[in-house]
Amino acid sequence: MKRISIIIACLLLLSCNNRKDSTVLYNDSLPPITDGYVGLQDGHFVLDGECWFPKMLNYKAFIDGGHVIPAPYYTGTDIREHFDTIASWGFNAVRVCLDVMSECDSTAKFEATRRMVQTADSAGLKVMLLIKTPFEPYWQSYTKGLLRHLADLPALWAYDFFNEPLYFDPEPERDKMDAVRLASEWRHWVRTYAPHQLFTIATAEPIEVFEWDPSMLPTDFVEMHTYHPLRVYSEMLWYSRYCGKPWMVGETGLPADNDSVPYVWQLAFMDQTYVRAKELGAAGYGWWEFQDHPGGVNFEAQYTGLRDANGKAKLAADWMRYRPYICFGCAEMHFFPVNYYNMLAYSNIRLTGRIVDKSTGKPVEGAVIRGWNDDWSVGMNTYTDSNGCFTLYSNDYNVHFEISAPGMSREKFDRRNIKYSNPQGIDTKNLPDRDREYQQIDYSPYLNNSIPEIPFNMDFDSVHFFRYSLDGDMGTIRLEMLNINN
């Protein structure tokens, strides 16, 4: 593989030792384990003395006229029917997304939400409630009232206060300690007004560490979201190692329209990501979403549902009913994604460097390094190893950089006059695939389209699935066929 290379000198990060000053304001202990309520113990959820693993489906809803109503693109308007269907598919929890609403009568909204949770409970489902993030005074008051009003509902097992700050934070350059301060205040509300329910924030990809650092946020557990076959295993591995608290997959999904992406691929993606999450020690697994959204902004948003736009169940819909038990945390030492340090198999340019803790001089493992090209159109990530060393691969010249690590400071800088070594005389003005980002890689031609359609009455001894991996030199996706029992 031909590459242009550069070595970056050691970069220094400061440990955020003053985080203690912000979190000590409030009780940092977990809520007491109470009969009927979901609790946390030894890194996993417990319910009535037994381990409880949430198999969760995301469900979009709104409040209108004193009632919680399904998203308008869901077929049917009966939430009880929807919840019964979700439970029949083998799910035991729903993440009800009620984060889009306007100011109006709070009491009516409280009652509507209460009835929705009770409906889910009667269908056999626990509820994680995604609320509107309480930045403004009205929503702060609303949130406290909601917590008080629903505190006696054991079926409401967790509150999600913020969906993917990386993309939706109204503050474009938030300091880590400010994020800790906000999360500490929100957690204090939960502890005060809903003392038996859990608190979380839904984080996206590992570059959340630049602002909403999952290792510093005083959440009870980390709920992480990850999509796309090229990213999901690496991102789950990073969270499992460096978030520093119990974690679960809150959203993942593979869009499937049964045309360009057959439904069997969606089923295989669900199965393999579910298996990998449990093997890496995830405390739960969630899928996005209940039904396809024809008006979604892109293919991923349109076709990740487990029902098609007409309300017909897809092949993966009831797979959770058949999935056998898998142990927790039993594969980390045996599994390492081949593309962990080079997600897209970039091969033009290689930058190397080392990250150390400025206060101790020790190497920093698990730091996230983000580079962008000059016009910010392409970004690329990598991580440091146990020696604090990193290699950032790219197909275009890196100019803008951002670096941080769990519990440590953030550094941002530009380098426009990097002197690249080019001993092989590569044509530096015509580098191939300079604009390649993961969204531009069509992985479907590399997927095995000869897998037969699988009926719902599955024979575990004969069904096979595939695992995604990257070929580091060729930049293509390999498939390894796996028997369900292996």
How many independent structural domains does the chain possess?
A: 3
Asked whether residue 47 is domain-assigned, the answer is no
- Tell me, yes or no, whether 178 and 107 share the same domain: yes
Which domain range does residue 140 map to? Answer: 52-334
Hey, which residues does 351 pair with through a beta bridge? 6, 392
pLDDT score at 228: 84
Q: 317 near 311, Cβ under 8 Å?
A: no
pLDDT score at 447: 42
pLDDT score at 427: 76
pLDDT at 48 over 50: yes
- Tell me, yes or no, whether 290 and 342 share the same domain: no
pLDDT digits (tens, 9 = 90+) for 267-309: 989 988 998 899 899 999 999 999 999 998 888 889 999 999 9
pLDDT score at 268: 87
- Tell me, yes or no, whether 399 and 417 share the same domain: yes
Domain boundary among 281, 313, 334: 334
- Tell me, yes or no, whether 227 and 321 share the same domain: yes
CA distance 156 to 68: 15
Q: What is the average pLDDT score of the chain?
A: 84
pLDDT at 379 over 50: yes
Asked whether residue 400 is domain-assigned, the answer is yes
pLDDT score at 466: 33
pLDDT digits (tens, 9 = 90+) for 383-395: 999 999 999 998 8
pTM over 0.85: yes
Calculate ∠ Cα 334-335-337, nearest 5°.
155
pLDDT, average across residues 381-406? 92
pLDDT score at 429: 77
Write the CA distances from 439 to 300, 311, 443, 470, 471, integer angstroms.
10, 28, 10, 15, 18
CB atoms closer than 10 angstroms to residue 315: 22
pLDDT digits (tens, 9 = 90+) for 197-206: 999 999 999 9
pLDDT at 29 over 90: no
pLDDT digits (tens, 9 = 90+) for 305-351: 999 999 999 999 999 888 766 666 665 556 688 889 988 888 888 88
- Tell me, yes or no, whether 190 and 177 share the same domain: yes
- Tell me, yes or no, whether 170 and 260 share the same domain: yes
- Tell me, yes or no, whether 371 and 358 share the same domain: yes
pLDDT, average across residues 9-21? 59
Asked whether residue 396 is domain-assigned, the answer is yes
User: Within 13 Å and on the Cβ side, how many CA atoms surround 218?
Assistant: 28
User: What is the CATH number for 409?
Assistant: 2.60.40
Which residue stretches of 286-436 are H helix?
A: 299-303
Greater confidence, 15 or 52? 52
Q: pLDDT category, 443, cuts 50, 70, 90?
A: low
